[in-house]
Amino acid sequence: GIELKDEEGEEVAERLGVRLTSPHRVVYPDQGTTKAQLVDYYSEVAEAMLPHIANRPLSLVRCPQGRAKHCFFQKHDTGSFPEQIYSQTITEKDGDRQNYFFIKDLAGLVAGTQMNVLEWHIWGSHFDDVDKPDRLVFDIDPDEGLDFSHIISAATDIRDRLADLGLKSVPMVSGGKGVHVIVPLKPEMDWAEAKTFCRDFAKKLESDEPDRFTANLSKAKRKGRLFIDYLRNERGSTAIAPWSVRSREGAPVAVPVTWDEVPRLKGANIFSLEAAAERAQGDNAWPDYFKLKQKLTAKMLKAVSG
């Protein structure tokens, strides 16, 4: 198996010209995982991860005192980040102009780790066409205590319903509690249409099987059910990036899996940093992902509406 080492992380940072301070500082106390080991991890997964994260607006979870201490979401670049982390202006819904982070390469992942980023969240669009989503996410959020088998069957049912509409999808364990069913798209429809499609799709699941599904965010409505979180599919919303570590117990990773593996999964937080680094070598879980040129069509929107 892969062992993550301080020396290797330090070497990577040095080679890429990113200043890594306190490389031996422990960021995951329960695992004893250090900053330099996280850098080593990202160097192992970069080839698999970068195609999913590069050049997209980002939202970062930063934990300056390490996991389990105070962490915060940072959406806007207010300065003081290393030069390997870039930013560009986006006009928000209310007209505010804000600088959003993006990265291009491993140096960006290393620089983020230097800034205590423990989670990398991505928009569903790229900077060069920020108003046209190129990935949709159906985020399956279970009620407290619901067995993982319910998430498995929900994921495959969502896959089948999407396939009936003509859309291929891929599964990812979130590193937390649920599975994300992801639909890669040619960036053609705008955010409003994408959100309408996802909302109607979730509402149809709910109306067809109200005992299993809810499309309502409220925890009260979730009792024994799965919330199909379609709200990821809005301009400005984010989802955890494939291969990002999570700032959760066990330092679990969000990992792409295959539909064949899904029925056998024991949970969404099963991949440690080492296990994920191992899997990333020659990763081929989503072989068609970047080849699929599928579009969201007016016909699909109509099929799920009302």
Tell me which residues touch ligand ATP (CB under 6 A).
Answer: 59, 73, 121, 139, 141, 174, 176-178, 229, 232, 238-240, 268
> Which amino acid type is present at position 210?
P
- CB nearer to ligand ATP: pick between 11 and 62: 62
Residue-by-residue DSSP string for 61-125: EE-TT-TTS--EEE-B--S---TTSEEEEEE-TTS-EEEEEE--SHHHHHHHHHTTEEEEEE-SS
Tokens 């992380």 identify what position? 9
Partner from Mn ion, ligand ATP, none contacting 73, C-beta within 5 to 8 A by type? ligand ATP
Q: What 8-state DSSP symbol labels residue 221?
A: G
Q: What φ, ψ does residue 78 adopt, rounded to 5°?
A: -105, 20
Partner from Mn ion, ligand ATP, none contacting 59, C-beta within 5 to 8 A by type? ligand ATP
Partner from ligand ATP, Mn ion, none contacting 279, C-beta within 5 to 8 A by type? none
Which among 169, 172, 170 has a CA at the least distance from the CA of 180? 172
Nearest 5°: the CA angle 12, 13, 19 is: 170
Nearest 10 degrees: Cα torsion 301, 304, 305, 306:
170
- For the CB of residue 248, give the shortest distance to Mn ion in the complex, in Å: 12
- CB nearer to ligand ATP: pick between 20 and 240: 240
Contact positions vs Mn ion (CB under 5 A): 139, 141, 178, 229
- For the CB of residue 288, give the shortest distance to ligand ATP in the complex, in Å: 23
- CB nearer to ligand ATP: pick between 240 and 257: 240
Partner from Mn ion, ligand ATP, none contacting 238, C-beta within 5 to 8 A by type? ligand ATP
d(CA 280, CA 175): 15
- For the CB of residue 83, give the shortest distance to ligand ATP in the complex, in Å: 25
- CB nearer to Mn ion: pick between 141 and 234: 141
Partner from Mn ion, ligand ATP, none contacting 121, C-beta within 5 to 8 A by type? ligand ATP
- CB nearer to Mn ion: pick between 191 and 230: 230
- CB nearer to ligand ATP: pick between 37 and 174: 174
Partner from Mn ion, ligand ATP, none contacting 268, C-beta within 5 to 8 A by type? ligand ATP
Partner from ligand ATP, Mn ion, none contacting 117, C-beta within 5 to 8 A by type? none
d(CA 168, CA 184): 8
Q: Alpha helices, DSSP H only, in the chain?
A: 6-16, 35-53, 106-114, 148-165, 191-208, 273-280, 298-304
Six token digits for residue 291: 């080849």
- For the CB of residue 269, give the shortest distance to ligand ATP in the complex, in Å: 8
Which among 148, 97, 96, 139 has a CA at the least distance from the CA of 121? 139
- CB nearer to Mn ion: pick between 66 and 178: 178
